[in-house]
Amino acid sequence: MKTRGVPDFLLLFLTALLIGFGITMVISSSSIFAYAGQFTMHGCQYCGGDELYFVKKQITWVGLGIVAMLVAMNIPFSFYKKNFLLISLISFALLVVVLLPWLDTEANGARSWLKLGPASLQTSEFAKLGLIIYLAAIIAKKGERFRQFKTGLIPPLVMTGAFFLLIAQQPDLGTAAILLGTAGVMMICGGANLKHLFLLTMPPFTLFFLSYLTLNPHALTRIQSFLDPWSSRLGTGWQLSQSYYALARGGISGTGFGQGIQKYLYLPEAHTDFIFAVIGEELGFIGTTLFLLIYLSFLLRGLFICLKSKDTFASLTGIGIVTMIGLQALVNIGGATGSIPITGVPLPFISYGGSSLLVCMIGTGILLSVSREVNRQKTMELLQAKKT
């Protein structure tokens, strides 16, 4: 009889810490805006008055995410390996659907959202997970042949390029860049020839970014405000300068939970893209450092699970998920601290938003599925050793 291994409880505990902390910070960062705000979100009118508006929605998504994580954890990772093509094709099809002109998929200037009744899903988030599973399966299947130029590296690069272009067309360049970086790390870990990878990717993507900046004045303005936000602090540099004020006001120990002032409609997107600035203001350097240590522990534990697996597909899938979450956190925090241009991606597990949270929890569930197989193999080896 085949035994089932236990999941990695440390990863589960760290995930619970991040989710709990995320709900706590959404309570603090969103209450003022939810009470006073008047806006339309994904087709739904909201006129304020309920300070727990976003918190209720976030808790609902957390509940759905927990169910999705548990389901993904109890599915053997071999299922993803067998059905990688179907998963990737569905992810690709969703990216195409949101770009269809006769569908009402636009929100905040981007055609990224697929409306399903009262809920909306950001298809680019699920595309990242679909591409990760595809690349892991292809690289594992090719083995040593992956180092070959035509039959090894070209097919995964073509698929990655197709995903990248569709997401960039929405436009969502931040998510597209994270997808590209995740794919690059997976290919390098899978044994790609670095010379071939560099020669095949750098010229076309450099040309793409130059063309994008030329054809989109908004992107160029965003870069200019990143380089010098104070010159336009009442215009395009307002968001970054307010983030600076929040982080500076936090100091060493912070103002205390709920005591920040930037969320009082000074800092736009305080509960989503710039929730890290609220964390810095209310918890200070000490609290922010502790939070980042939990984040780092989660990523390192996920990486540890990947490296312990003897299955190439499982290892690469786990590396892709850890890289995706880590890069997204890096991009979000980099934007809030002025280290890189603002991209508008949420902070994984922390920011308000259902699609990102759901995908991160599904990804964590897959990592837990891998950990169960690792622990099962370890248990079987111990039992075998006792018999001998």
**Taking 50 as the threshold, does the pLDDT of residue 1 lie above it?**
no
3-state secondary structure of 109: coil
Q: What is the DSSP letter of 48?
A: S
- For the stretch 85-143, pLDDT in tens is 999 999 999 999 888 876 666 666 667 777 776 677 889 999 999 999 999 999 999 88
Domain boundaries of the chain, sorted by first residue: 9-387
Structure tokens at 293: 């240590």
Determine contact, residues 177/123, Cβ cutoff 8 Å. no
| Per-residue model confidence (pLDDT) at position 53 | 87
The residue count of the chain comes to 388
Q: pLDDT confidence of 387, banded at 50, 70, 90?
A: confident
- For the stretch 238-269, pLDDT in tens is 899 999 999 999 999 999 998 999 999 899 88
| Amino acid letter, residue 184 | G
User: Which of 44-58, 86-100, 253-267, 351-365 has the least mean pLDDT?
Assistant: 44-58
- For the stretch 318-334, pLDDT in tens is 999 999 999 999 999 99
Q: Which of 278, 327, 335, 272 is nearest to 299 (CA)?
A: 327
More confident: 89 or 380: 89
User: Which of 2-6, 138-142, 353-357 has the least mean pLDDT?
Assistant: 2-6
Report the phi/psi class of residue 273: left, alpha or beta, with left for phi > 0 and alpha for psi in -120 to 50: alpha
Distance CA 332, CA 334 (A): 5
* Statement: the pTM of the whole predicted model exceeds 0.85: yes
